[in-house]
Every structure is written in structure tokens, then in C-alpha cells.
A and B are shown apart, each in its own frame.
Chain A
Amino acid sequence: MSNEVKENGVSRRTVLKGAAVGGAGLLGGGTLLSSCGSDEATGPVKFTARTNDETGLKIAQALADAYTAETGIEVTMQGSGDTNAFQDGISQYLQGTPDDAFQWMAGFRTNFRADQGLLVDLSENISNLGDQMPAGFVSGATNPTDGKQYIIPTTWYPWGLHYRKSTMQEIGLDPEGLYNWDDFMKLLEGTKKKGLIGYALGDKGGWEAMGTFSILNTRLNGYNYHIDLLNGRAQWTDQKTVDVFKRFEMLIPYMNKNVLDISWDGMRDLLLQKKCGAIMMGSWWANDFKAQSQADYDDLWIVPFPEINPEFGRDSIDAPVDGMCAATNGTNPEGGAAFAEWCGSENGMLAAQAAGDTSLYANSRLDSSGYDAFNKQKLAVIGEAKNVMNFLDRDCRNDFAGPIVGVQIQNFLKNPADLNKILEETQAAWDALPPLS
């Protein structure tokens, strides 16, 4: 009960603050009225799916319907619209009148909002799930500030080299036998000779190429150096960092010429249309291959990024965890928390799977025997790594990842010869960041 009072207090302050700064707080109007009388966890639940595409919305609607069928609680699902815009506006969204539950990402992006009191503490819901939620995911979802969990992990996916088996067969290459950098260069050369793009990249969104940067850094300098670099304990001007970009530059001749004109969906489409050899990407869009046709889905494969430095082998991987959060300012935060918990449970996972979701699930009851071949391969790719990262923009502070690192990687792709200046600027920008409160 005292918890409830505190939640209301937060929303009241939020409204006042919104009025004081103007524009951003406009959404706050209804909060005071709506945050009263939400004691019962049985009322209707509103849920925002962090997706804008057909497959994602279909899966989200299936989750809502299955929950209603099981509990009798009405769930209203809406898509977030453009996902980049949703991510950008998340703090404002959560201070206004958000839906009770929403799909979100573990790591800094959750913990930071939890520290601001915008997310419901889901520790109890996680413990309700008991052994369904493996310890690794619980610790991945734990906010280091207070040791509580604010997100129910649902799915995750590895970042790796994706390719089509049929394309590689035509070229006469076998990426599964690919282990080190030289093999990789041969593969890129082979694809290029065939008239295809070797290493397709689209970085219009400013984050897609972070995947390539992170994997190159961990392969060359190891996981610890990468995390240190992202958190200010290593320098961007170090020779080690310079070497990472030098490797990156070696890939440019094999890339498409319009890297800064296409986004992640352009990369996916290039692979779907058999126009490229490989893309370095997380596999969340495999659902779209399945939606196109089962044959396309069966043709899709993933292998780990090759080894560069034998000292580190292939011991690190970006494998971001997605999940469900509940918003403190929702009309029915308890209902949102209960729905989030259900989405992470066995029944929730089965409902998503039935609707065509090809993700890897956090829930331990869905053991790997139920996975298709591609999912088993994804698990194997993750399993090879010792260090699991959450992706660059969730592994470091948000005012550094997007506006600085993302922009500087774009600047590098624009003109690789500017590298030294770019790295000096990046270090200066880190040094100028305000203390993280």
C-alpha cells in the first residue's frame, strides 16, 4: 500500500515537472486521474508492442488474445509505431500516460528508467516464475543500483554473420568451416567475384554498424577492453581502438556503396533478395524470412564472427535480451506486471511460438528440443561464447552511445581517412560528459 502512495507521488511530481519545462510534459495531464483506483490486478490491461511490422504485431496480438483466453482479462494491444522514435521518446512516454506493459530491452535502457522510478519493480514476478527463469537471465535483468529486476526477460538473439545456404553453395563456399580472419577474407573475395555484395551494411539508423564495431573490438582486444572502452576506463585514442577501425576499413571494399542510405531493414532485404553474401546482424528479423516463405527461412543460417586474435578466439558475442516492463504511471500497473510475468512464462512463450515467433526464449521450460534447426544453431552460436554482451547502445550510457559513438561510426564510414580526428573527438566527448546521476 505504501508502495502505491509512492508511485502516485512520483506521477504527481512528474506532472508538475512537465508543466515547468513545457512541451515534453504535455502528455502528463491525465496521469493524476488515471493513477488512482488501480489496486486490483484484474482490470483490463493495455500493452504496447515495440514493433511496427506486420509479423511483430501479429505475434503481439496473439499474446494478448492468449492471455485473455486464459485469464479472462481484457488486453488491448497497440504497436509502438516507428521503433526508433519510440526508443527516443521512452522517458517522456513513461512520464505521461503509458500503457501498463510494454516490450523493452534489458541493460542500461531499463536500469536507467528504473532508477528514475518510471518502471514497476518486477522482482516478485520474477521469483513467481521460479525455475522457469534461468539464473543467467535473472542476473542479466538485475539493476546493479538496487539489485531488483524491472524487466521480465522473454526472448534473446545472437549477433552473428547471417547468410543464405543456397547463395554460398552457388559460390562454392562453406561458411561453417570459416574460423579465422583469412577464411573470412576469402569468403568476402569469393562473394565479390560472384558479383554480389560481400559484407552488406546499412548504417542510416546510426546503430547498425555498432554491431560490427563491437565484435571487431572484442575479437581484437577482448571483452574486458570493450566494456572498459564503453565506460571510460580505456581511451578511444589508444592504438588498440585505432586497430579496430583499421579492421573495419578492411571490410569497406566488400560493402555496398550506399551504406549510409539504407537501414537494418535494407540489410535484411539484401539478404532476402539474394543480393549479398553475409550480414553482421542480430537475428530478430528471422521471423520476416519465415513470413516470406518456409523455404526462405530454411535457407537462412548464422555463424559466429571469425576469430582475429587467437588470445580471445570467439569468446564474446552480442546477445541482447528483450523483455516486458510495466510502467509505474500506467492505469493498471499491477495488471501490467501480471501480464509481463505471464509473457515470460511457459504459456506466454508457447503462444508467441504458435504465432510464428522464431526467437530464442529465456524460459527454461521451452527446452531446445522444441527448437527448429536455425534456433538450435543460434543457441550453438551463443553457447560458444564465454562473454555475453547486451549490444553497444545498452552496454553504455545513452547520451554517449547514440549521439556520440553512433555518429562517429557514421563519420568514419563517410571518410575513413579522418579516423584520428574522429577518435580524438570521441574521447573529448566522453571526457565532457556530465556525471551520471
Chain B
Amino acid sequence: MTTTATKVKTRRRRAFTRKDILTLSLFIGVPTFLHVFWVWIPAISTIGLSFTFWNGVKLSDIKWAGLANYNTVFTASPQFYDALQNNTYWLLWFTSIATPLGVLLAYQVDRAIRGHKIYESVYYIPVVLSLAVIGIIWRFMLGPAGLVQVLLGHPGIEDAIPIFGNYSINTYVILGIASWRHIGYIMLLYLAGLKSVDPSLREAAAIDGATEWQTFRKIVLPAMAPVNTIIIVITVIESLRAFDLIYIIYGTSTGWPILGMLVFVNIYGQAASMLGAAYAVILFLLSIIPIVFYLRTVFREDIK
């Protein structure tokens, strides 16, 4: 009895037992299989299909197209550059306005200003809603005969103020709606980070006579470095993957084109062609850079 036990013990030191192997292959193998099957195979197929002409139904209809789809996207798409521009606006707005605002709110709430509990809840509420639901809410509020229209004295459809279809303001309206949720999201993430900053650091700074701004810049911000990276990457990803809000407000008619919508319209809709795959690859290339950055940071933290 004892000999077998020691045997097992020594063997365990050297190599995995059969049970370990089984456990490992289940815990690593199954997720890996699912990941490869549902993420990598579709992704690689999409990249391959972006070099073909296909309507998405019969496999035998796939025809090699070379770079034709990309050529169409860059030279003959009436919407590609508009979409790129809108995604860029979204990114700039989020990085320069929405995210800093979320950070500011988190900082104020963390300082326990008067009524901070109320602010915290008020700003956090939109985060529990998906962007699709947010789209529905704001479409009803701002659309013809919506609440905002009624409050502005334009209750009828005939004199409804053009909002979503008004191209001089709709960019700000859409970004405002998206920020409504994004600010709360960033606030919560940052707040969680702030709670983990040792309060004695700030006390020491205060004793040394540092101003509020100096404390934030020199003490809090460096202490929050990992959270900052995550927030930057989340902001970039949110801006590029934007889709649901636009789909709910405009449908597939792309009244405010973005890349995600062009992928959808051209790969899924009645107009299925592999032009959509080409858009998807372009979007993928734009996203992969922040994602790699993000994953590297996360893994580095884990190793620490």
C-alpha cells in the first residue's frame, strides 16, 4: 500500500497522472475546440471569402475574385469613407470627451462629494441596459411624435424636428446617446480601480502640500496604470465595434453609416456578397491592434 502511494507521489512530481491529463484535456481541450470552431474557423473563412465572389448560399458558387472586393470597397463604395469617418468621430469623441468625463465622475464619487451615492446610481443605470435597448428608448424619445418632440412643442409628425435624419446634428446626437452609457461604464471601472489605491498615498501627498490636481496627476494616475490601459483599449474597441445602436435607430438603410453596418448589410442582407467579408477584414485589422495591446497588458498583470 505504502509503496504504491510513494510511487504515485514521485510520479506525480515528474509527470501528469492519467487523471490530470484527462482533466487538463477537458479544461483546455474543450474551450480550445469551441474557440477554434466558433471563432478561428469563421474568422479565417471570412478572410478567405473576402477574396471571392459568393452570394452566401451554395458552396459550389464560390468564385475566386482576387482583390476585386477590396478594390470595390476603396474605389467604388458610396459609403466606405463616410463610415470610416463616423467610426473615427466616434473614437475621437469617446477618447477625448466621454472617457475623461467618466474618469472625472469616478474621481468625484470616490472623494465622496455630497450626494455621491445618488450620482453613482444615476450614472450607472444606463450601463445595465444594452445599446440596443438604449437605441429603442432614444428612438422613441427623439423620433417623430416622441417625448422630446412633444416637449419642444412639435407633437405632430408633419412638423417633427429632423434629428436622426438631420446630417448637421445627428453625429452629435448618436455620440451623445452612446456616451450616456459609456460614461457610466468607465466611471464604474475607474471607481473600482480607485478603491484599490492605498488612501495613505493620498494622505501623504496632502500632508506634503500637493494640490488636488497634483495628487491626481502624480499619485493616482500612475497608481492606476493597469486600469488606464484597460479603459483606453475598451474605448477603442467600443468605438470600432459600434453597431447595435445604429441598427436599432436606422435599420439597415445606414442613415449614419459605420463599418459594422456595412459588414452586416453586405454579408447578411438580401444583398449578400463577399463585399461584406472584405469590410469585415478591414474592421478586423483596425481592431486587432488595440486587442493585442489589451491582451498583452492583461496577461502581464496575471503573471505579476
- Say whether A associates with B: yes
Interface on A for B, CB 8 Å cutoff? Answer: 13-14, 16-17, 20-24, 84-85, 87-92, 95, 109, 112, 116-118, 197, 200, 204-207, 256-262, 266, 269-270, 273, 275-276, 398-404, 406-408, 410-411, 414-415, 422, 425-426, 428-429, 431-432, 434-435, 437
B78 with A407: CB separation less than 8 A: yes
Contacts A402-B252, A425-B78, A435-B53 known; A262 to B270 CB distance under 8 Å? no
A276 with B158: CB separation less than 8 A: yes
B63, B166, B251: the one contacting A205 at CB < 8 Å is: B251
A14, A24, A197, A404: the one contacting B158 at CB < 8 Å is: A197
A402 with B269: CB separation less than 8 A: yes
Minimum distance in angstroms from B277 CB to a CB of chain A: 9
B250 with A116: CB separation less than 8 A: no
Give the distance in Å from the alpha carbon of A112 to the alpha carbon of B56 in the complex.
Answer: 12
A91 with B61: CB separation less than 8 A: no
Minimum distance in angstroms from B17 CB to a CB of chain A: 35
Interface on B for A, CB 8 Å cutoff? Answer: 38, 41-42, 45-46, 49, 53-59, 61, 63, 65, 68-69, 71-72, 75-79, 143-144, 156-167, 250-255, 265-266, 268-275
Give the distance in Å from the alpha carbon of A407 to the alpha carbon of B61 in the complex.
Answer: 28
Minimum distance in angstroms from A275 CB to a CB of chain B: 4
A90 with B160: CB separation less than 8 A: no
Contacts A205-B253, A407-B254 known; A259 to B165 CB distance under 8 Å? yes
Contacts A13-B59, A90-B270 known; A432 to B72 CB distance under 8 Å? yes
Enumerate chain B residues within 8 angstroms of A273, measured Cβ to Cβ: 156-158
B41, B58, B69, B161: the one contacting A116 at CB < 8 Å is: B58
Contacts A21-B42, A266-B157, A425-B78 known; A437 to B253 CB distance under 8 Å? no
Minimum distance in angstroms from B58 CB to a CB of chain A: 6
Q: Which 10 A-B pairs have the closest CB atoms?
A: A260-B165, A22-B42, A206-B253, A432-B76, A399-B271, A434-B53, A261-B165, A275-B158, A116-B57, A432-B72
Give the distance in Å from the alpha carbon of A89 to the alpha carbon of B162 in the complex.
Answer: 29
Enumerate chain B residues within 8 angstroms of A406, measured Cβ to Cβ: 253
A402 with B265: CB separation less than 8 A: yes
CB closest chain-B residue, reference A26: B38
Minimum distance in angstroms from B210 CB to a CB of chain A: 52
B255 with A260: CB separation less than 8 A: yes
Give the distance in Å from the alpha carbon of A129 to the alpha carbon of B41 in the complex.
Answer: 48
A414 with B270: CB separation less than 8 A: no
Enumerate chain A residues within 8 angstroms of B253, measured Cβ to Cβ: 204-207, 402, 406-407, 410
Known: A206-B251, A258-B162, A262-B157. 20 other contacts (CB 8 A): A17-B57, A17-B58, A20-B59, A22-B41, A22-B45, A88-B268, A95-B57, A109-B270, A116-B57, A204-B255, A206-B255, A260-B162, A261-B143, A261-B160, A266-B144, A270-B157, A273-B157, A399-B271, A402-B271, A437-B61
